[in-house]
Amino acid sequence: MPDWGAIFLLSTPVLEIFVRGTVTFLALLVMLRLAGQRESGGLGLTDVLLVVLVAQAAAGGLSGGSESIADGLLLVATILLWSIAVDAIAYRWPLAARLLKARPRPLIADGRLDHRVMRREFMTREEVLSQLRLHGLQDISEVECAYLEPNGMISVVARRTGDPPAPTGPSPAPQADPHRDAR
């Protein structure tokens, strides 16, 4: 017969679970933020962190290990709380967002590679060219700009060909409507 108390009651103090979840989430967030944008693939860093930590936190309660279901649920709730808190802080305070959230990094500007960004993200020229081919472009000179996005993907804006150059002088005065006087 299962010990229902051991399954559903907390076996670890609430404060200890909260502190463990908080320290783990924030420490991993900092480490992943320092690791660079390229490592997260198609997800944001907090998305990756959330999936991994929630899976690990729930595992003890699911497998019937030494933790109870309540311990695992409290840990998951702590992790979700911090995920929401980090997003809310970044939303409300732009200065904090610069520290907590990754920003797009200019990888190509006016047909030229930014080697500083490439070095920071450990990207080779061949990897950049591969990404350009996925966007239907053969050469870097065909690119107006390209950004390494916070989710690790590369967005590309191709140069427009065949468009007339933008006028450099003042715009012409609007023409009067010839039908206006006829009314």
Q: Report residue 46 CA to chain centroid gap.
A: 7
Question: Where exactly are the structural domains of the chain?
Answer: 4-100, 105-158
| Residue in this structure with the two tokens 């804006």, named with its chain if needed | 157
* pLDDT attached to residue 51: 78
Asked if 152 and 37 count as a contact pair (C-beta separation under 8 A), the reply is: yes
Domain 105-158 maps to which CATH number in 3.40.50.261, 3.20.10.10, 3.30.240.20, 1.10.3720.10? 3.30.240.20
Structure tokens at 55: 């899976």
* pLDDT attached to residue 63: 46
3-state secondary structure of 127: helix
Per-residue pLDDT of 8-66, as tens digits, reads 777 778 888 888 888 888 887 787 777 665 545 555 666 777 777 777 776 765 444 55
Structure tokens at 141: 């000179």
Measure the CA dihedral 136/142/145/148, to 10°.
Answer: 40
Per-residue pLDDT of 84-136, as tens digits, reads 998 899 999 999 988 888 788 899 999 899 999 999 888 899 989 998 999 99
pLDDT band for 162, please (50, 70, 90 cuts). Answer: low
Cα distances from 81 to residues 2, 118, 135, in angstroms, run 31, 34, 38
